[in-house]
Amino acid sequence: MKLNDKVAVVTGGANGIGRALCQRFAAEGARGVAVADLDGERAAALAQQIGGIAVTTDVSREGDIVKLVARATEAYGAIDLFCSNAGIGTPGGDDEPNDVWQRIWEVNVMAHIYAARAVIPGMLARGEGYIVATASAAGLLAQIGSAPYSVTKHAAVAFAEWLSITHGDAGIKVSCLCPQGVNTDLLRRSAGGPGEFLRANALEPEAVAEAVVKAIDEERFLILPHPEVEEYFRRKATDYDRWLRGMRRLQASFKAG
């Protein structure tokens, strides 16, 4: 899909990857870009910069996403591209409190489901539309030190796969973005060995946006801005036990350091 003259909505659009996506879509000639973010002030500043609209949105609330879709449609007409990009991270394991698990589940998983409910009926009626779900390499591999992040990002990948399988023959295109470290606030706040490991090879958000635009143009499902992730994923698939042993060694090296 070419982005020229298209209408795009980006959640988590005021910061990091989302900000870079909004800027790049505008540069590609999008007819309208809706910047959706919990930080309404930063969303408004970016929207003014790129000639879009800002919609303050808490993606964990289905009603907010319904209002976002309605606002974007009112401003620009049918939505061609919905980037379900907002996400959060947290360290910890199975002993994290239930409210921590619930919050990250709502943002990293349910928000994708709410977005699909809101935009897919219209896309199906038109016989076309595009959804980009931001997950993570952690959704294909794992995130050492964060069970909630690993679990929810795996779920985000699985839902994107399901959307593609279920609606792909009806004109709905789906891509799933799975980067490793990206130079955003989320990565900068991460502590310990895993955070240092990811920061060592972090990409700038603009490089990720470039990979997304290329994948949309090719209508390719899996977007891997870090090409090494494909090899890691292949190794995992071909010898799961060996991959697990390797991940345990990596985890031990973090602890030793």
Give residue 133's pLDDT.
98
Question: Mean pLDDT, to the nearest integer, of 79-93?
Answer: 96
Question: pLDDT tens across 96-107, in order?
Answer: 999 999 999 999
Confidence of residue 256 (pLDDT cuts 50, 70, 90): confident
Question: Which of the residues 130, 149, 232, 240 is marked catalytic?
Answer: 149
Give residue 13's pLDDT.
98
User: If you average pLDDT over every residue of the chain, what do you get?
Assistant: 95
- Indicate yes or no: pTM above 0.85: yes
Give residue 58's pLDDT.
98
Give residue 198's pLDDT.
77
Distance CA 240, CA 254 (A): 21
In CATH, which superfamily holds the domain spanning 7-256?
NAD(P)-binding Rossmann-like Domain (3.40.50.720)
Query: Which residue, among 208, 224, 207, 210, has the nearest Cα to 3 in the 3D structure?
Result: 210
Residue 199 confidence (pLDDT) above 80: no
State the distance between the two ends of the chain, measured CA to CA, in whole angstroms: 46
Domain spans in the chain, listed from the N-terminal domain onward = 7-256
Q: Are 88 and 186 in contact (CB under 8 A)?
A: yes
Question: Mean pLDDT, to the nearest integer, of 4-16?
Answer: 98
Q: Within a 10 A sphere around the Cβ of 98, how many other Cβ atoms?
A: 7
Give residue 184's pLDDT.
80
Give residue 192's pLDDT.
64
HSE at residue 190, side-chain half, CA atoms within 13 A, is 26
Question: Which pair of tokens denotes residue 245?
Answer: 């042993």
Question: pLDDT tens across 210-238, in order?
Answer: 999 999 999 999 999 999 999 999 999 99
Give residue 186's pLDDT.
72
Confidence of residue 255 (pLDDT cuts 50, 70, 90): confident
130 catalytically annotated: no
Give residue 185's pLDDT.
76
